């Protein structure tokens, strides 16, 4: 994916920044592990999902066709972490109402994610603090000055800038912003850094080399499962059932 692709209009963040001083909670629904929330796309009320595993925003190709998008924007080479690349079209200007603010998303690629017509990537929210209240089924965005995150930290976290080609997640590879990494404690007090991908709708995904090194494929192997990635390709995955896991 070209590093020159910019998918957010400059006034988008300015409009959101002006609104967060009066940030309101908005309802969310967790669907198969993904956080979804109401949005309006080109006048159509629908839902979007947060996807920290992607640095770009994207619209579902079938949804784009259904609402009559022209997809006349640039065509991009997008890549799956497992199955190579694919050329996809994009919508030059996508009118969206998100967090109560009307914005224009530039050159939004059309991908395959039918359960969520719109995916919001991590770069979109980089300037804000995103607060998700899972028990209360709600979330909001706040200016960074609103919360002292260092004082409230309870999970080790680090940036994972660079090329996201490690195979940890079912997201995109290529130049751009990688999702943050969090430290998770596995059996035997093994501390492993995993990418935090809010757009992943399945179980935790491990690099196979990590599982082999710790002998987990033999000790905990359960079955295999199939899933479909953002490019519409089928992925076969070995499933493990772990006896314990600790986050924070």
pLDDT tens across the length of the chain (248 residues) = 333 333 334 344 444 544 554 568 889 998 877 889 999 999 999 999 988 777 788 999 999 999 999 999 988 887 655 445 778 899 999 999 988 788 889 899 998 888 889 999 877 777 778 888 888 999 888 777 777 777 777 888 777 654 454 333 333 333 345 677 888 999 888 898 888 877 666 678 888 888 888 899 888 877 777 766 656 677 778 888 888 889 88
User: Cβ distance 94 to 121 under 8 Å?
Assistant: no
β partners of residue 97: 40, 102
Q: Residue 211 CB: number of other CB atoms within 10 A? A: 18
User: Which phi and psi angles does 10 have, rounded to 5°?
Assistant: -60, -35
**Smallest Cα–Cα separation from 93: which of 104, 78, 84?**
104
Q: Residue 116 CB: number of other CB atoms within 10 A? A: 25
Quote the pLDDT of residue 36: 93
User: Cβ distance 82 to 236 under 8 Å?
Assistant: no
What is residue 63's three-state secondary structure? helix
Dist CA 197 CA 34 (whole Å): 9
Tokens 């059309």 sit on residue: 110
**Smallest Cα–Cα separation from 39: which of 55, 31, 50?**
50
**By CB neighbour count within 10 A (0-12 exposed, 13-18 middle, 19+ buried), where does 134 fall?**
exposed
101-111 and 58-60: which strand pairing?
A: parallel
Tokens 């998100």 sit on residue: 98
Does an H or E element contain 50, and which? strand 44-51
Quote the pLDDT of residue 95: 93
Tokens 């998770």 sit on residue: 184
β partners of residue 186: 190
């Amino acid at each position: 994916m070209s590093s020159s692709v910019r998918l957010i209009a400059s006034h988008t963040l300015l409009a959101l920044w002006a609104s967060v001083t009066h940030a309101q909670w908005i309802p969310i629904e967790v669907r198969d592990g993904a956080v979804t929330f109401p949005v309006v796309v080109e006048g159509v009320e629908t839902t979007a999902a947060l996807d920290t595993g992607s640095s770009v925003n994207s619209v579902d190709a079938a949804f784009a066709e259904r609402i009559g998008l022209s997809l006349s924007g640039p065509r991009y080479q997008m890549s799956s972490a497992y199955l190579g690349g694919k050329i996809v079209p994009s919508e030059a200007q996508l009118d969206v109402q998100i967090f109560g603010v009307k914005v224009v998303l530039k050159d939004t690629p059309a991908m395959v994610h039918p359960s969520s017509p719109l995916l919001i990537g991590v770069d979109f929210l980089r300037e804000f603090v995103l607060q998700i209240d899972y028990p209360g089924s709600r979330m909001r965005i706040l200016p960074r000055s609103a919360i002292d995150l260092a004082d409230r930290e309870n999970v080790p976290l680090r940036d994972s800038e660079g090329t996201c080609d490690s195979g940890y997640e079912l997201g995109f590879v290529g130049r751009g912003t990688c999702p943050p990494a969090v430290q998770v404690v596995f059996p035997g007090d093994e501390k492993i850094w995993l990418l935090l991908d809010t757009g992943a709708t399945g179980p935790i995904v491990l690099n196979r080399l990590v599982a082999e090194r710790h002998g987990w494929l033999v000790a905990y192997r359960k079955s295999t499962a199939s899933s479909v990635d953002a490019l519409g390709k089928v992925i076969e995955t070995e499933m493990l059932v772990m006896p314990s896991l600790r986050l924070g």
